[in-house]
Amino acid sequence: MKIALISENSQAAKNGIIHEALTSVAEPFGHEVYNYGMYTAEDSAQLTYVMNGLLTGILLNSKAVDFVVTGCGTGMGSMLACNAMPGVFCGLVIDPTDAFLFNRINDGNAISMPYAKGFGWAAELNLQDCYRKLFEEEGGIGYPKERAEIMAKNRGILSQMKDVTCNDMLTVLKNVDQDLLKAAIAGEKFEDYFYANSQDDEISGYLRSL
């Protein structure tokens, strides 16, 4: 599985801590991690939590990655921005129990975490435990397991509902504020990571045209 890490400007200074925790857990399970930044608070390309959502939508809808780990101060802003995008199902994960239940029940493709609120002593251990609960087992197997079938049915209904309520990603890209879009894809490693992995020629072509 290809996993993207996206950090916004208020918490960019913690990108290294988050990236290390994520790779230390995900890579031994055979997953690849792509750090889309921000890398430091002084980066020339600044990401807001709204841009986190837009970038998450681009990466998942193009199939450049399979899963996105993002967040902000409380985790809520990035979660809301992600869930505004078509095809994105983002959960708020604060502790390992959240991560376990999100993986087992919701089987989404993105999480948002609080990197200011409650981010104290041994925070990196909580991150590692959360990522372990997310990536150590196959998603969607249910909890309790006897409810797996109805949970899968509800996930399908939610996906169908989102298809109805959201425009496709290319339409979003063409109609969203273009300066906002350009800023969201201005990270120093975006071109290297994205175009090598994107599986959607239309999305890639539109972004190249900018």
Q: Tokens at residue 149, please?
A: 């079938």
Residue type, 109: N
DSSP 3-state of 85: coil
Question: Do 3 and 35 contact (CB within 8 A), yes or no?
Answer: no
CA dist., res. 187 & res. 159, Å (int):
30
Domains of the chain with CATH codes: 2-209 (3.40.1400.10)
Q: What is the reported pLDDT for 166? A: 95
| Binned average pLDDT, 10 residues per bin, the chain of 210 residues | 98 97 97 97 97 98 98 98 98 98 98 96 96 95 93 96 96 98 97 98 97
| Token code pair at residue 91 | 């959960």
Q: What is the pLDDT of residues 153-203, one digit of tens each?
A: 999 999 999 999 999 999 999 999 999 999 999 999 999 999 999 999 999
Q: What is the pLDDT of residue 116?
A: 97
Give the list of residues 6+ apart from residue 164 with CB closer than 8 angstroms, or none: none
